[in-house]
Amino acid sequence: MSGRVLEVEGLVKRFGGLTATDHVTLDLKRGEIHALIGPNGAGKSTLINQLCGELPPDEGEVRIMGRDVTRLGVPERVALGLGRTFQITSLLTEMTVAENIALAVQARRGGNFRLFDRLRGRRDLWAETEALLRGSGLEARADVRVSGLSHGEKKQLELLVALAGKPAFLLLDEPMAGLGHSESQEMVQVLRRIAADVPMLLVEHDMEAVFALATRISVLVYGRIIATGSVEEIRNHPEVREAYLGQEDELC
Ligand code: ADP
Ligand code: MG
C-alpha cells in the first residue's frame, strides 16, 4: 500500500459555474502531518467534506488504505480508518471528560458484549479510556464535566474522542481556531505527539502552528493546489507568497 493512508486523485467539485475543487491530487503518508493552507474561499472545507464522505465529488477518486471510497458515505469511511474532528463541537457537555472518551471507545467496539463478558468489557473500556488520557494534558481533569473545561481543553478532548475510534489517520479542520497563544502552543505539542502514531491532514490558518508542525504543506488557491513542498519550500515559493499571502512578512 506504499505507506499512503489517504490518496486523492483528480478530484473536481463544481457549484454551478464555480469550480470549488479543481483537479486536486494529494496524499497522506504514515508518519506525516500534511498541512493544507489557502486563503478564505480557496476550497479547503469543500475538499475536507469530500474526503469525509459528506459531499460527493463530480470527478476523481478518493482512496483510504488503498480502497476506493469515492462512492462511500461517512460511516463506511470511518470503518476503514478515517478519523476527524468537527468545527462545531460534538462533545456531551453534561458528561465528564472520561465519560466522553469512554462513550467513543464503546461506540467503536459496538455494544454486543455477551452477558458474561460485560464485566470484563467494562473494565477494558475504562482501561482504554485511562490509556488515552494518560499524558494527554487532561489526565488530571478526567472527572470534570465538559461544561467546566476551557476552550483549549475542549479542543484537546475532541482529539481524544477522535483517537478513541482508533483511526488510521485524522482529518483536522482548524484545531487552533479560537485558541489563545499558550493554548495553541500546547495544542502543537499534543498534535506532534499524536502524529507519531496517527498521520494527519491538517487544515489550519495559524501559520506559526503550520510551520512548527507540518512535514509537508499543500497550498490551495481557487480550488487548485498551486504548490506542495516542505516548510522551507513553501516559505520561499514566489507564487505562494504572491497568490496566497500577499504580504511577505506574514510568512516569516
Ligand atoms: P474555504 O474553506 O477554503 O474557505 P470553501 O470550501 O468553504 O473555502 O469554499 C470554496 C468556494 O466554494 C467558495 O467560493 C464558496 O463560496 C463556494 N461554496 C462552498 N460551498 C458551497 C455550496 N454548498 N454551494 C455553492 N457554493 C459553495
Ligand atoms: Mg473553510
Question: Secondary structure of 3-52 in the HEC alphabet?
Answer: CEEEEEEEEEEEECCEEEEEEEEEEEECCCEEEEECCCCCCHHHHHHHHH
pLDDT of residue 248: 47
Q: Can you tell me the mean pLDDT for 59-69?
A: 98
pLDDT band at 214 (very low <50, low <70, confident <90, very high): very high
Measured from CB, residues less than 6 Å from any atom of ligand 1 are 15, 18, 20, 38, 40-46
CA dist., res. 231 & res. 108, Å (int): 35
Residue 46 C-alpha to ligand 1 middle, in angstroms? 6
Task: Give, using CA atoms, the residue closest to atom 13 of ligand 1.
Answer: 41
- And the C-alpha cell for 38? 489557502
Residues of the chain with CATH 3.40.50.300: 1-81+168-252
Residue 194 C-alpha to ligand 2 middle, in angstroms? 23
pLDDT band at 30 (very low <50, low <70, confident <90, very high): very high
Residue to mutate (ligand 1; options 36, 46, 224; most atoms within 8 A of CB): 46
Model pTM?
0.89
CATH fold, domain 1-81+168-252, is: Rossmann fold (3.40.50)
Does the pLDDT value for residue 1 go beyond 90? Answer: no
Residue 147 C-alpha to ligand 2 middle, in angstroms? 26
- Average confidence score pLDDT of the chain: 90
pLDDT of residue 249: 47
